Structure 1
Amino acid sequence: MASSTRLYNWYICMVAATCMVLYGYDASVFNAAQGSANWLNYFDLHKKDDAYLIGLVNTAYTIGAIVGGFFMAGPLADYFGRRVAFAPRHNLGCFIGGRVLIGIGQGLSLTAGATYISEVAPSDIRGTIMTFWQLNYSVGSFIAYWIAYATSLNIKRLGDWDWKLVVIFQLLCPVTICSLIFLQPESPRWWIQRHNDVAKCRAALTKIRATEAEIEDEVLAIREAIEFEKEAISSSYWALFKDPSVRRRLWLAFALNIGQQLSGQGTLNSYSTSIYMKIWDSKQTINLINALNATCGILFTLNAAWTADRFGRRWLLIFGAVGMAVSIGIVAIVAGATPSTESGAKSQPVGIAIVFLLFLFIFFYKPSWGATVWIWTAEVFSVNVRAQAVGMCSQMQNVANTIFQQFFPVFLAREGLKCLYFFMAVNILLAVFVWFLVPETKQNHVEKGGQMMGVPDPHHAADTTEEKAAVETREVRSV
């Protein structure tokens, strides 16, 4: 049976992981809204003629997230609530402005949440917890799409509220986070890294570690890692660019996070409604497919809870990229080889086959490029640069989305489902990239830091009073 301390660890990490529920919901709101004729009419939009404007509505959110994640999240490393307001009718600019503000808040919370989990979760369950971090993205999409499906069943009665209800439920996660996060302990690593306050570090660890020995071991490990990084690397964010090892990890993490979105998942999550409109006539059917897709996404992500540690990060990324390339490639082949009806849709058997293949794509994506990229990014950086590095890397997802998803509606309108060949090619390149460049192992600074501090056993704190006094004397001298 799990101890109360371990359960508390799970609790505080899951509160932080609610940021990903919010991310999944926010990222799915626009996809759900664009399937509503009331939303299009409210802002005087036409699906084909206003493809660039529709793309701008989506990228406004990612632009805000880039600003928040790159320039604010690292220094602030905190959570901010957000308010949702409805734009006046016909005023698309106001709606876009609101999307930018939401994106800024999301950029802040994603960086802080991932860093917090990586610093408070015990090392033996950190990979599993980061799996649930990615799973919560699917939970957010699940909530958004099922609300959208429910409102689509009552369009006549709801009117414009068929999409407004989907938007207003964005308040749910910020309210939950803001009401719980300030009752949780601060990161123990942050107390030493920013304030050199060992006492408060120990006090924070007392709440999240089971034994005194475990607490002292982790205090020692934190100080050893920071000691090494200050002398051998740097104590500032310049370490991201000055140190060759850190810089290489940064570029690799950038590429993986960009690849995560260009694999096709980012586009499918934002424009699946537009894609399914080329297959199905019924908008209710499309909303149901989106909801079922999000439901399966939760189940598929659970695979990462046992695959990430069993098979390793590298092999999971390669396997996932190959699986995604095959499934999305077959979708493009089937769509091109089968006739369309007079309305432009596909026959029901073809539609079911394509939906199955797109669900198969999600099956390969969720435990690999969905969960494993987050795990790899959170683990690969050292303590002194982790907050800024994780923020920058995670926002590379939004950089990729901003650039690509702005013109994807036009790409889809002109090329139809042949545009899916692009994602097949990207996934093949991602598999090759990981095979040749991405390492499985990560650097351990504890041993080197222990040598610098003169600690006999770098993994365990001293037990006797004399040894503790000696360690504390060395700590004071090092400061």
Structure 2
Amino acid sequence: MSILKLVEDRPTPKSVYNWRVYLLAAVASCTSCMIGYDSAFIGTTLALDSFKSEFHFSSMSTTAQNLLSANIVSCYQAGAFFGAFFGYPLGHFWGRKIALLISAVVFILGAGLMLGANGDRGLGLIYAGRVLAGLGVGAGSNITPIYISELSPPAIRGRLVGVYELGWQVGGLVGFWINYGVDSTMAPSHKQWLIPFAVQLIPAGLLLFGGVFLRESPRWLFSKERREEAVRNLCWIRQLDENDIYIIEEIGAIDQALEEQRSTIGLGFWKPFKAAYSNNKVMYRLFLGSMLFFWQNGSGINAINYYSPTVFKSIGVTGTNTSLFTTGIFGVVKTVVTFVWLLYLIDRVGRRNLLLIGALGGSVCLWIVGAYIKVAQPALHPKAHMDSGGIAAMFFFYLWTVFYTPTWNGTPWVLNSEMFDPNMRSLAQACAAASNWLWNFLVSRFTPQMFSTMGYGVYFFFASLMLCSIVFVYFLVPETKGLPLESMDQLFEIKPVHRAHSQMLAKLREEEERFRHDIEESGLAASKAGAVQVEHASAEASKFA
């Protein structure tokens, strides 16, 4: 099986898998670069001696330092929570493209505010800037997966939405290493800690610049009855003529889905809200989407992302520079395995199996790391160099990264971008993104206090949650890989859940064969009718002669 083997729901022209669809996904995923960079750089920047010195950390108690760090980190997530909901009206009324560009502008304004902070002015500008930047990335985290999923061919939809996750990891990789770089090459100064804050502007600027290449989502245009523009964009993205049978089938599926929505949910701004309260099936999927992010944050990933120096110190890593280097290696591991997830796992292994494997393997690793800390107590017995037990603990920590990153890191975003019909998708994605930022906020807000009071119990806590997520996924989450977005309603009606994907795929293939047979029959009938007409005309001509 080739690493790029495609599992298609129907025969697909090779031109559909072209550079344009990847370019659009890459430009839109600059949003996730902004998110990934922040999640990685902020914790290590707060650990820099230059930052601590300028804002007088030495005059504070440990409890006060933990509270200050938690507030700086978590106000960003608080802004992102509200930004996720703000993205819904933007995407509904103005379209996916304009919403993405607005989110970039808001983020740039917030990042610019942070650059004005210093010891004399205090942290007020950093707080305000992080809230504003959070609003921008919250809206972007809502819109980007929707936009990518709406323009993706089913066979590579997971891979393309995975580009969003890849952008997250690339941003994180830079964020994890930026502070190691400034700490190693620059003397402590105002500029030393300001540079990591300034780098935030780069991915947002790339998104604004890349906006000239973006095309509006055809599905959104169809929903707004801008049919001519929608067909034109769809043909451009697919590199096919509008008379190609693949385009005809795709437009037919979109029209059918929209017509079904008109007769059930409706296409207005408030219709999805009414459907969410009145339709148990919609509420059920909203519950699934939101809970996926609860379990994602329950793995402990954001505790590690935002407070990686604290995490490595608990294992026995000493020294600021060594801690930053170890954090950088963590970022490298995440990025490398994300490529494997993107190119092979997400559309080959599937969403459901990845979540199950990642939860089981990750849980085992955290139990081992927690057990080492309980027995060895490295915080009470610091050593200049890690012993064999500490090295083993670090190995299992990185092994946890290998299990977590290609499974729970990006897969919930892929699932949430897929499992709702087009009219519900914006609201549903807003709820899912808001759920992510809510749990993200809680974890980032209380992680310093958890490590202070629970110690090794933090690892046991997250390991237990990962085990619980296995039960949730196995019984409640169906596989969605390779299925058209318009088929998700039917997929979630099939029970038991673990057989839903195979049954739905078989049904789609039957419908495809029937559709093509009908076209062939109609063509044959037209051919026969034409032959009869020619024969009749010849007979009449003979009589006249």
Contact kept, 8 Å, 2:16 with 2:153, in 1: the verdict is no
Matches within 5 A, 1:229-308: 229-235=261-267, 236-238=271-273, 239-278=275-314, 279-305=316-342, 306-308=344-346
Does the alignment pair 1:35 with 2:47?
yes
Which of structures 1 and 2 has the bigger CA Rg? Answer: 2
Q: Residues of 1 paired with 2:255 and 2:25: CA distance?
A: 23
Residue aligning to 2:87: 73
Residue aligning to 2:26: 14
One of 152, 162, 168 as aligned partner of 2:192: 162
Residue 275 to residue 345, structure 1, CA distance change in 2 (3 Å)? farther
Identical counterparts, % of pairs: 25
Contact kept, 8 Å, 1:112 with 1:387, in 2: the verdict is yes
Does the alignment pair 1:114 with 2:129?
no
Residue-by-residue CA offset, 1:315-365 (whole Å, 9 max, x unaligned)? 211111111111011100011111437674685134332222111111111
Matches within 5 A, 1:65-464: 65-70=80-85, 72-77=86-91, 78-79=99-100, 80=102, 81=105, 82-83=108-109, 84-85=112-113, 86=115, 87-89=117-119, 91-156=122-187, 158-193=188-223, 195-212=224-241, 213=244, 214-235=246-267, 236-238=271-273, 239-278=275-314, 279-305=316-342, 306-340=344-378, 344=382, 347-349=385-387, 350-441=389-480, 445=486
SS of alignment partner, residue 199 of structure 2: helix
Contact kept, 8 Å, 1:146 with 1:288, in 2: the verdict is yes
Deviation at 1:98, TM superposition (A): 1.0
Residue 309 to residue 342, structure 1, CA distance change in 2 (3 Å)? closer
Q: Residues of 1 paired with 2:249 and 2:399: CA distance?
A: 44
Deviation at 1:233, TM superposition (A): 3.2
Contact kept, 8 Å, 1:224 with 1:446, in 2: the verdict is no
Residue 145 to residue 225, structure 1, CA distance change in 2 (3 Å)? same
Deviation at 1:289, TM superposition (A): 1.2
Contact kept, 8 Å, 1:118 with 1:378, in 2: the verdict is yes
Q: Residues of 2 paired with 1:116 and 1:312: CA distance?
A: 21
Residue aligning to 2:530: none
Residue-by-residue CA offset, 1:22-51 (whole Å, 9 max, x unaligned)? 110011221121221221222223472321
Q: Residues of 2 paired with 1:341 and 1:249: CA distance?
A: 44
Residue aligning to 1:470: none
Residue 443 to residue 204, structure 1, CA distance change in 2 (3 Å)? closer
Contact kept, 8 Å, 1:118 with 1:126, in 2: the verdict is yes
Q: Residues of 2 paired with 1:106 and 1:364: CA distance?
A: 26
Q: Residues of 2 paired with 1:9 and 1:448: CA distance?
A: 25
Deviation at 1:184, TM superposition (A): 1.7
Decide which moves more: 238-247 or 314-323. 238-247
Deviation at 1:5, TM superposition (A): 6.8
SS of alignment partner, residue 63 of structure 2: coil
Residue 201 to residue 284, structure 1, CA distance change in 2 (3 Å)? same
- Counterpart amino acid of residue 199 in structure 1: E
Residue-by-residue CA offset, 1:78-104 (whole Å, 9 max, x unaligned)? 123213232131512321111101100
Residue-by-residue CA offset, 1:105-127 (whole Å, 9 max, x unaligned)? 10111212111101112111111
Contact kept, 8 Å, 1:64 with 1:101, in 2: the verdict is yes
- Counterpart amino acid of residue 427 in structure 1: M
Residue aligning to 1:472: none
Q: Residues of 2 paired with 1:432 and 1:295: CA distance?
A: 31
Residue aligning to 2:79: 64
Q: Structure 1 stretches of 5 or more lacking a match?
A: 450-454, 466-479
